[in-house]
Amino acid sequence: MSLSALASSIAESPTLSLNETARALREKGESVIHLGGGEPKNKAPRSAAQACAAKLEGGDVKYTPTSGTAGLKQAVARYTEQSYGWSVGPANVIVCDGAKGALFNVLFALVDPGDEVVVLAPYWVSYPEMIKMVRGVPVIVRPPEGGFVPRLEDVAAALGAKTKALIVNSPNNPSGAVYPEELVAGLVRLCEERGIAYISDDIYHKLVFDGRTTPSPYRATDQDPETTKIISINGISKLFGMTGFRIGWAVAPKAMVKVLARIQAQTVSCTSGLLQAAAEGALNGPPADFEALRSSLQANRDVMMRELAAIPRLKVRRPEGTFYCLPDFRAYGADSAALARLLLEKALVVTVPGREFGMEGHLRLSYCTSAEEIREGAARIRWALDPEAPKQMRIGSKTVVRDWL
Ligand SMILES: Cc1ncc(COP(=O)(O)O)c(C=O)c1O
């Protein structure tokens, strides 16, 4: 069968394929430490499980309206007002298959072949591939050496006649950085001046630490919900650790939501009503459910920082949010894919090469696992890379001697 050139050019999702590798190794009985994951270990909040069960019990298993159930859109509108002080109604909301589905629909709605979308490194792996899938061109803006936050002037210089959108993801996957308020405001103004969409991927916006809040792009605009250039993307995957429920949404002007609904109607029709009920239950549930997850991630962040500090020559920036960090491993090798392979093969630790996020020489480490796994993972990384570390290490039931340094 002959595949399209476009389909053949789309890269595999490195994070999802690493999940498969970790799963396969664990099934073989190997003692794998998975620091490559993108989902917390919590259970679904009770309010979500109960709402989903009640819906199923009632036998209501039909299609829902394309843009989502009235109840969930209402809950998202309320959440948007409470979280950002941005007053929207259900007609400004479309519910999609995860934030991923929302983002894809938004890019499909905005981009003509050859149009450019500006992406800020380090970036989430899927942005460039999704932009290519809608026949657009990703334009990458890099941060200054040693940092994870772009300079406003570098972003301005990247915007041209073909630019249709800027994607901003703060708190940021993979670095855990939260962009400062002045930068967010500057980026919003830039998009408004140039007439381009500001796509705010807010999937981690509440997962911030040390009493911080995430600067909201809506604070920087004097537009209203129907004229704004800001499209915010969010969902329950990270907010409630409900990744497998595949519910996300976009909040946008009504005219844009209508177009997004047409796209969704011709592709997936709607998302599952059962899972929308669960999302509504989670959004309407007690704030304690969310706070328990946030504070456990902050505690894990602290464990990860303490453990990484014991690895000499590693440069680590303390994450302000998310459940990732992106240490600079260049003292141990410039090729992040080779480093990640070595750690997997020799130490059975899964990490994600920084190259995938536009940050070669770095590795993304997740701390959404248990504190015990974080400690063990960091100890194995040190043993595998640092010539000063003891030569032998117990990995699962085996004692392994380091003979590659
Ligand atoms: C920055 C970012 N955006 C979007 C997503 C996708 O979220 P969802 O599971 O809701 O599709 C992820 C998942 O890892 C992410 O890290």
HEC secondary structure over 212-275:
CCCCCHHHHCCCCCCCCCEEEEEEHHHHCCCHHHCEEEEECCHHHHHHHHHHHHHHCCCCCHHH
How far does residue 204's CA lie from ligand 1's centre (Å)? 9
Predicted TM-score of the model (pTM): 0.96
Q: What is the pLDDT of residue 16?
A: 76
Q: What are the residue ranges spanned by the domains of the chain?
A: 5-43+288-401, 46-285
Phi, psi angles (nearest 5°) of residue 183: -65, -45
Weakly modelled stretches of the chain, pLDDT under 70: none
Class of domain 46-285 as given by CATH: alpha beta
Q: What is the pLDDT of residue 18?
A: 76
Substitution candidate for ligand 1 out of 107, 131, 237, 323 with most atoms within 8 A of CB: 237
Q: What is the pLDDT of residue 38?
A: 87
19 lines ligand 1 (CB under 6 A): no
Q: What is the pLDDT of residue 26?
A: 86
pLDDT above 90: percentage of residues in the chain: 89
How far does residue 162's CA lie from ligand 1's centre (Å)? 26
The CATH number assigned to the domain with range 5-43+288-401 reads: 3.90.1150.10
Q: What is the pLDDT of residue 17?
A: 76
Type of residue found at 366: S
Q: What is the pLDDT of residue 90?
A: 98
